[in-house]
C-alpha cells in the first residue's frame, strides 16, 4: 500500500535615557540575571536599550558634528555577551522541565540553555570515525564546529530542540498535511527506501535564475512499524540550460517515548541515518528522564 493512500485528515512613559547610563551597574545586574532567566530576555533588554537611548553628551564646540557616543557601554556589552548560553565541557547535570517531562541532562549535551533547550550530539554519517550520539568533549570538539571542520575530523554534530516540534503532529498526520499541499501526489522512489514527493519543478525559467523560490521535498517510509517523515529544503540553480538541485537541510519533527516533541535539523548526508538518529535520541532522552515525573 502506498503511503499516498492514507486517508485525508478531516503608553507606559519612557524612562529618561540618562538613567540607563547613570545606573550601568543595574543594567549589568539585570543582564546577568537574564543569563539564568533566558537568552530571549537578554536580547529584549538590549534591543530596548538600543531603541530608547537618545543620550547625547555635551560635546566641545570644536568637536566634529559627526561624533556619536556608543549606544551601549562596555559594561553593558560584557554583561550581554556573558549572558549568551554557550556550549561547555562541564558534565554537571542540569534539571530541565520540558512541558510535562523533567530531565537531568549533563551540561555538555546542551548547546543552548535559553527558554527552549537545545541538545547537540555527534551523529552517524558516511565514513565517520567518531562515535555517534556523544556530547561535546575536549577530544571531539572539532565535530561541534563548522561542517567542514567536522568532516575533516571524520564527524558531524546535529542539534535537536526539546519541546519545539513545529507541528506537534504525529508523522502520519504530518504526511496527510503534506499531501494536501503537493501538486503531484504520485510518489517517487527515493534513496534508502524512502518514497518522496517533490514540491518543486523540473526546470527553472530564466526569470527564476536570480530569485528562485524555495522548494520542498517530503520523505516518508515505515521503520519498525512506525512512520518516519521529514521535509527537506531544496536549492535549485540554473546552470546554462540545465537545472540542478541539492538539499540545503532537512527538518524532522518526531515524538519521544514520553510524548515530548523534538525538532531535529540535519543535512543531506544523514538521510539514510534518520531512523537510527530518531531511535537513538528517544533512548538518550529516556535515560535523562527523571522517573516518577510523567510517562
For 195-232, what is each residue's pLDDT tens digit? Answer: 999 876 555 555 555 445 557 889 999 998 899 999 99
Cβ atoms 263, 165 nearer than 8 A: yes
- The pLDDT confidence band at residue 123, using thresholds 50, 70 and 90, is very high
Adjacent-strand bridge partners of 269: none
Given a contact cutoff of 8 angstroms between Cβ atoms, the answer to whether 155 and 140 are in contact is: yes
What is the pLDDT confidence band of residue 279, given thresholds at 50, 70 and 90? very high
Reported as a pLDDT band with limits 50, 70 and 90, residue 48 is very low
Residues 6+ apart with CB under 8 A from 183: 199
Q: Is 102 exposed, middle or buried (0-12, 13-18, 19+ CB in 10 A)?
A: middle
Highest mean pLDDT, choosing among 74-78, 81-85, 123-127: 123-127
CB atoms within 10 A of CB 190: 17
Give the integer Cα–Cα distance in Å for 142 and 122. Answer: 10
Using CA atoms, how far residue 87 sits from 43, 91, 124, in Å, is: 18, 11, 20
In the three-class reduction of DSSP (H, G, I as helix; E, B as strand; rest coil), residue 53 is classed as coil
Q: How far is CA 194 from CA 31, 46, 213, 276, in A?
A: 48, 46, 25, 14
Largest CA distance in the chain: 83
State the cell numbers at 148. Answer: 567542514
C-alpha Rg value of the chain to the nearest Å: 24
How many residues are recorded in the chain?
A: 295
Residue among 232, 256, 230 at smallest CA distance from 245: 232
- The conformation of residue 206, written as its DSSP 8-state character, comes to G
Amino acid at each position: 500500500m502506498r503511503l499516498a493512500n492514507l486517508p485525508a485528515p478531516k503608553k507606559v512613559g519612557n524612562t529618561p535615557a540618562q538613567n540607563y547610563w547613570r545606573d550601568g551597574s543595574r543594567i549589568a545586574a539585570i543582564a546577568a540575571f537574564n543569563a539564568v532567566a533566558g537568552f530571549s530576555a537578554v536580547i529584549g533588554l538590549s534591543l530596548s536599550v538600543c531603541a530608547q537611548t537618545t543620550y547625547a553628551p555635551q560635546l566641545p564646540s570644536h568637536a566634529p558634528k559627526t561624533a556619536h557616543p556608543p549606544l551601549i557601554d562596555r559594561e553593558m556589552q560584557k554583561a550581554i555577551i556573558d549572558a549568551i548560553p554557550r556550549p561547555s565541557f562541564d558534565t554537571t547535570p542540569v534539571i530541565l522541565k520540558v512541558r510535562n517531562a523533567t530531565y537531568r541532562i549533563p551540561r555538555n549535551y546542551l548547546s543552548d540553555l535559553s527558554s527552549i533547550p537545545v541538545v547537540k550530539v555527534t551523529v552517524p554519517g558516511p565514513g565517520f570515525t567518531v562515535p555517534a550520539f556523544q556530547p561535546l568533549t575536549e577530544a571531539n570538539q572539532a565535530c561541534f564546529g563548522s561542517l567542514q571542520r567536522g568532516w575533516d575530523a571524520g564527524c558531524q554534530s546535529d542539534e535537536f530542540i526539546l519541546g519545539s516540534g513545529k507541528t506537534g503532529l504525529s508523522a502520519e498526520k504530518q504526511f496527510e498535511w503534506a499531501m494536501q499541499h503537493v501538486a503531484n501526489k504520485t510518489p517517487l522512489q527515493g534513496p534508502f527506501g524512502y518514497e518522496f514527493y517533490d514540491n518543486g519543478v523540473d526546470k527553472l525559467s530564466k526569470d527564476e535564475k536570480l530569485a528562485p523560490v524555495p522548494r520542498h521535498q517530503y520523505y516518508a517510509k515505515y521503520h519498525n512499524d512506525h512512520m518516519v517523515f521529514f521535509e527537506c529544503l531544496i536549492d535549485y540553480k540554473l546552470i546554462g540550460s540545465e537545472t540542478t538541485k541539492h538539499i540545503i537541510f532537512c527538518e524532522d519533527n518526531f515524538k519521544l517515548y514520553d510524548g515530548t516533541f523534538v525538532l531535529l535539523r540535519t543535512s543531506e548526508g544523514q538521510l539514510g541515518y534518520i531512523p537510527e538518529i530518531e531511535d537513538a535520541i528517544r533512548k538518550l532522552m529516556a535515560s535523562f528522564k527523571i522517573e516518577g515525573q510523567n510517562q
